Amino acid sequence: MDLVAIPDFEAGAMENWGLITFRETALLYNKKQASSINKQYVATVVAHELAHQWFGNLVTMKWWDDLWLNEGFAEFMEYLGTNAAEPEWGMENHWYYMDLLKAFKTDSSHYTHPIYAEVKDPEEISALFDDISYSKGSSVIRMIESWLNNINSNHFRRGANTYSSNYFFNRIHEYLDLYKYSNAETKQLWDALESYDKDGNPLMNVSETMGTFINQGGYPIVMMKRNKEENKVSLSQERYFYNHIELMNSDQPADNSTWIIPYSYLVYCNITGKPEIKENKSITLKEETSIPLPIILRKRDGEGEDIADVKLFVKGNPDQTGFYKVQYDDESIQIACEWLKSDLYFMSAIDRAGFLYDIASQLFNGRTENPEVILDCFNFLKNEKSNVVWQSAIDILKQLIKNYDVDASYDNVKKYIISLIKNISNDIGWEEKENNESKENNYENIFREQYRKRKRDGDATKEDNTIHNRSQLRASILGLASVVGEETIKSEALSYFEQIKDGNFTKNFDEDVLKVIYSAGVRYGNENDFNFIFEEYKKETSVQRKNMLMDSLASVSTPSLQEKLFELSISDEIREQDTNFLLMRLIRNVGSSAARQCWIFVKEHWDSYFIDRFPTGTAGFSRLLGTIAEYLNSDELFDDIVEWIDGVDNGKRVVPSTSKALVKRGVEFGRANNCWTKHEKYGEVVSKWLNEHF
């Protein structure tokens, strides 16, 4: 197997049988310079392409309708392959915030599509290479694996040495063997995974159950509501839409989609004085139903009186293996948050991340009567150190920034975020608190010892506060702290930047930490600072370092320098393959002001550059237009971009239909964010709470 890096290569990689081709940044790794994020990226891309040798090359989908059989499985296997090579990284936790959350967002739009999508025209093919085929596909496969193994092995947990007893992988092996050097389709996968009784009847109904997740767009939110009088929890489902608040006030017909959900849950009780698991159960949820709760005999004090603080909490979707969200009632949220503040580790890291993201979805989706309860709950983050929890939290906090970036409450949003991240930013610092000349070898030994200890304790993925993960978390936390203007981090970053410019910088920081410093230099600096970084970019020969410097330029906040960056993005100084990524990073880093400027630039240069560079069906341009649309933050501009792509003022303008769908998805998200921010029960309540507390 040959692996080849190509300088100008638009895709990340291509799984040619026997000769895999890559972008330079997806294959080349400099051990002395590159960061843990670079190392992990290279590992996952290589694992993804190697997985394609089986899923795609050995067994190929029969037609493009079943693209997910290639890409969903390769995405699923990239985490397992990387985890086999580097078990200390805890890749199942990385999967949660790198794949699942991405799929949740894309699939919450009206402009999504089923995983199995009928293809009748060649122009429709490129549109399928998206978050649905990759991230949702892999997430549904993960749900199938967990569901089938639980049925066949009584709450089976995957381990490095247990694949021989893994029902799911045994059946996948048979599927690959049966269809090797041939083609397959989804029905044949379902047949391979199913078990039958002596009369030939299916025992698990894999096709019927999983068909509800791949043959229709969207996904369910399972709404749990506690009934204390009957000691039950009622369960119901509906399709989760990003613009739920708008839909509640519209005349649009209700979406009646339903799913057959492999639903699992944990029941916690604090009768012993601390929250502990009392039940771990799974059901198949088709329609509204109730689940009984265990009868808890209350403790009594010395006088025979009930101790009143005995409570129950039901956590839906343990290990976050199900492709659905969970909605909790306010009392359940309060109980869980009270426990998290006093006993953080009663839930595993992945479950804390899942619970946090579920209640944040309730906050931004108009599914709570008391937004203040959720905002207060986020305070448990002040004691949090887990990478997966914080990466999920950062996504949520960036949503607050996006919603309020042109609002009077923006400064209070930043103060709120600073209050949450102050402890972790102080704890994690600019470099690992380890002073050893053989740092790399020492770190590796610490990694492995931490992993062995967690494995002895029975759960190798429970916590992820290893040095590898702290390295990634460091860059994310320091980057957010710099963006919101946390004084200590901002001051230190700018001081380091001056040292770099003066040539007396002596720290040996990871590249991702250096990006925080360079980004602060351009965000809070002037044209000279911008030019300094750009000159460094032009001189740099390391692909990772060059990419880091380009990313840093995308934090420029001064409008005139943004204009300069726009011009550079379509010049010979920037590779054409990087234009989209540079512009999208700028918008995501800076917000609505950059989106407005970028939209003007794209329109002005449509005929002279973009239409030739991005032919019909090019996914990269679709993503750029979608990102612009999501951040425009103005009803007038939303209307403008929709009319423009529809050719209202120029019938000869040709915008690919796939691009139109992505733009309209971005507009849908942007309008929903605006609606939430201005809503008297949600955005205005949050704004008032922030004003009162900060």
Catalytic machinery residues: 49
Task: State how far the Cα of 554 lies from the Cα of 519, in Å rounded to an integer.
Answer: 8
Q: Which residues pair with 277 in a beta bridge?
A: 268
Distances (CA, A) of 478 to 35, 441, 498, 629, 688: 15, 25, 18, 28, 28
- Enumerate the H helices of 304-438 as residue ranges: 330-342, 349-364, 371-377, 387-404, 410-428
CB neighbourhood size of 451 (10 A)? 18
Please provide residue 4's backbone torsions phi and psi, each rounded to the nearest 5 degrees: -125, 130
Radius of gyration of the chain (CA): 25
On the CB side of 259, CA atoms within 13 Å amount to 25
Q: Which residues pair with 266 in a beta bridge?
A: 280, 315
CA 498 to chain centre: 34
Please provide residue 291's backbone torsions phi and psi, each rounded to the nearest 5 degrees: -115, 135
Task: State how far the Cα of 186 lies from the Cα of 63, in Å rounded to an integer.
Answer: 10
DSSP element (H, E) containing 105: helix 101-107
DSSP conformation class of 315: E
Distances (CA, A) of 389 to 292, 332, 355, 382, 385: 30, 20, 10, 12, 8
- Enumerate the H helices of 570-618 as residue ranges: 576-590, 592-604, 611-613
Question: By CB neighbour count within 10 A (0-12 exposed, 13-18 middle, 19+ buried), where does 419 fall?
Answer: middle
CA 367 to chain centre: 21
Task: State how far the Cα of 529 lies from the Cα of 522, in Å rounded to an integer.
Answer: 6
Phi-psi region of 354 (alpha: psi -120 to 50; beta: other; left: phi over 0): alpha
Structure tokens at 212: 């509800």
Amino acid at 414: K
CB 612 within 8 A of CB 654: no
Q: Label the pairing between strands 2-6 and 19-23.
A: parallel
Q: Which residues pair with 276 in a beta bridge?
A: 269
> CA torsion sign, 238 to 240 to 241 to 247?
positive
Task: State how far the Cα of 232 lies from the Cα of 229, in Å rounded to an integer.
Answer: 8
CB 591 within 8 A of CB 405: yes
CB 44 within 8 A of CB 82: yes
Distances (CA, A) of 634 to 198, 600, 607, 651, 675: 62, 14, 25, 25, 11
